[in-house]
Amino acid sequence: MSVSLLDLQHRTDEIVPQKPPVDPATLRHKQFLERPDWRRIPAYADVDEGQFLDHHWQSKRTITRPEKLLEALQGLVSDDFISDATKGFAIAPMSVRVTPYLLSLIDWSQPYADPLRIQFIPLASRFLPDHPKLGLDSLGERADAPVPGLTHRYADKALFLPLDTCPVYCRFCTRSYAVGVDTEEVEKTHFKVDEARWRRAFQYIASRPELEDVVVSGGDAYNLRAEQLLSIGETLLAMGNIRRIRLATKGPAVMPQKILTDDAWFDAVTRIVELGRKLHKEVALHTHFNHPNEITGITRDAMHKLLEHGITVRNQSVLIRGVNDDPETMRLLVKRLGHVNVHPYYVYVHDLVKGAEDLRTTVQAALDIEKQVRGSTAGFNTPTFVVDAPGGGGKRDAHSFEHYDRGTGISVYQAPSVKPGQQYLYFDPIDRLPAEGRSRWADPREHAVMIDEALRASR
């Protein structure tokens, strides 16, 4: 039985509302930028829409040298900002890689405050000393690697790193020990495309019947050629033990044009998803949006294309100071992701990453924000806020600490299904602690004392 719109209107008139309807103008999650104004950047002033929407053009014009990036900004920002960024790149552990699309989304009239600039362009004036307990591979991925480029931490899941490049390089990357080229600060552990290394990883995965779930990351699955991606997908799906594959990529947030115009790569993803479906196995795309401004009409079109081909997309955000560490921004991000059919999956409390201390927040900030976000939309579109326990404990619900001292910023977690009996410590950024906590961390003799206090209190 069908119901006409006129009939529905008549029935609506008879309803006594419990609350007034929302003014559509207040639904900000639906009101995003259709097309960025790339022509306001002098370097792209003569670029037409066809070029800007082409992934080949975006890839070829991606900036990989600090001096080229700053050259593109001449006339848009002050000389002081250029000097600040030049010094910032010199001390940053992560090399630079920025797409024209990403540059076009940044508000260059307010470069110090812009949430996208904060994520990709370091400034010396914002630099904070690394936490004394921070290490280059803070999550201990290499310690759980049976073969190079494969981390087997959770019983039934493995992380496969087929390459070490991405479409952009994020300042806060937890894999800065491997991703990108060497910098003045860091000599990387490289995972180049190497079929012999891949074979060793595949042999290990096939030999472990408990492994059911593989995350194909890197680097970034966006940077795999179509035939490489297809080969990896088909190889993994052919294994009887594998039930799920996740293709991890930052790409939709920084170059959605690839989904729309790289037919070969998109067809490879589609073929893997369809093959998985025939084999009753799940293949999904996991991506990484951190701020509502990263979602545009181009993003929507790309996500619609994925949805039309039955491809599930989930999002993993990082909680970043000055980017999304307030309830209003996080609610808007979550709602906007849902609007373009991307499921918010995780929000990570920022890992302890070299050169990114100014981006980190406290565990308490995550708890407060999650409380405000939960209930603003459906549960399946509400992310879980997690701490990826330093040292290899894996992802723990941020609330699930055994002990949390807000004064010293030390939280203690356990991971009984991952590494039973071990305890893992997360450290809040020192500059966000009360005066007494900052004073204690300023004294190296107090470090072991504070850790011992936290461990004893957690037992």
Q: What does the pLDDT look like over 125-178, one tens digit per residue?
A: 999 999 999 876 677 777 889 999 999 999 999 999 999 889 998 988 886 555
Domain stop point among 100, 126, 152: 126
CA 143 to chain CA centroid, Å, is 22
The answer to whether residue 321 scores a pLDDT higher than 90 is yes
What is the pLDDT at residue 184? Answer: 47
Q: What is the mean pLDDT of residues 93-104?
A: 90
User: Are 338 and 208 found together in one domain?
Assistant: yes
The answer to whether residue 200 scores a pLDDT higher than 80 is yes
In the structure, what pLDDT confidence band is assigned to residue 114 with cuts at 50, 70 and 90? very high
Residue 354 sits in a domain of what CATH number? 3.20.20.70
The answer to whether residue 391 scores a pLDDT higher than 90 is no
Domain stop point among 398, 414, 442: 398
Does 24 map to a domain?
A: no
What is the pLDDT at residue 162? Answer: 94
What is the average pLDDT score of the chain? 92
Does 136 map to a domain?
A: no
User: Are 241 and 114 found together in one domain?
Assistant: no
Q: What is the mean pLDDT of residues 89-104?
A: 90
CA distance 430 to 36: 37
Cα dihedral 291→98→248→374 (10° resolution): -10
User: Are 117 and 211 found together in one domain?
Assistant: no
User: Are 188 and 116 found together in one domain?
Assistant: no
Does 3 map to a domain?
A: no
User: Facing residues of 284 across strands?
Assistant: 246
Please provide the size of the chain in residues.
Answer: 459
User: Are 86 and 157 found together in one domain?
Assistant: no
Q: What Cα–Cα distance (Å) separates residue 163 from each residue in 3, 150, 289, 328?
A: 54, 11, 21, 36
Q: What does the pLDDT look like over 330-377, one tens digit per residue?
A: 999 999 999 999 999 999 999 999 999 999 999 999 999 999 999 999
Place of tokens 């910032």: 88
User: Are 313 and 391 found together in one domain?
Assistant: yes
User: Are 303 and 178 found together in one domain?
Assistant: yes
Nearest to 148 by CA among 201, 194, 185: 201
Does 438 map to a domain?
A: no
What is the pLDDT at residue 296? Answer: 98
Does 173 map to a domain?
A: yes
Quick check: 258 and 251 in contact, CB under 8 A?
yes
132 is written with which tokens?
Answer: 């004394």
Q: What does the pLDDT look like over 19-35, one tens digit per residue?
A: 888 999 999 999 999 99
Taking residue 143's Cβ as centre, other Cβ atoms within 10 Å add up to: 11
User: Are 109 and 200 found together in one domain?
Assistant: no
Task: Report H helices in 346-424.
Answer: 363-373
CA distance 105 to 118: 12
Quick check: 122 and 89 in contact, CB under 8 A?
yes
The answer to whether residue 48 scores a pLDDT higher than 60 is yes
Three-state DSSP class for 258?
helix
Alpha-carbon dihedral sign for residues 230, 235, 240, 243? negative
User: Are 294 and 325 found together in one domain?
Assistant: yes
User: Are 157 and 121 found together in one domain?
Assistant: no
Side chain identity at 21, as an amino acid letter? P
What is the pLDDT at residue 329? Answer: 98
The answer to whether residue 449 scores a pLDDT higher than 90 is yes
**Domain span holding position 116:** 38-126
Q: What does the pLDDT look like over 244-283, one tens digit per residue?
A: 999 999 999 999 999 999 999 999 999 999 999 999 999 9
CA distance 38 to 388: 36
Q: What Cα–Cα distance (Å) separates residue 5 from each residue in 22, 192, 280?
A: 20, 58, 40
Q: What does the pLDDT look like over 402-415, one tens digit per residue?
A: 999 999 999 999 99
What is the pLDDT at residue 188? Answer: 40
Query: 253-286 burial, b for 16+ CB within 10 Å, e for fewer?
Result: bbbbbbbbbbeebbebbbbbbebbeeeebebbbb
What is the pLDDT at residue 20? Answer: 87
pTM of the model: 0.92
Domain stop point among 398, 415, 433: 398
User: Are 93 and 184 found together in one domain?
Assistant: no
Does 441 map to a domain?
A: no
The total of structural domains in the chain comes to 2
Quick check: 225 and 162 in contact, CB under 8 A?
no
Nearest to 115 by CA among 279, 338, 295: 295
User: Are 96 and 162 found together in one domain?
Assistant: no
CA distance 285 to 288: 10
Does 434 map to a domain?
A: no
Does 408 map to a domain?
A: no
The answer to whether residue 314 scores a pLDDT higher than 70 is yes
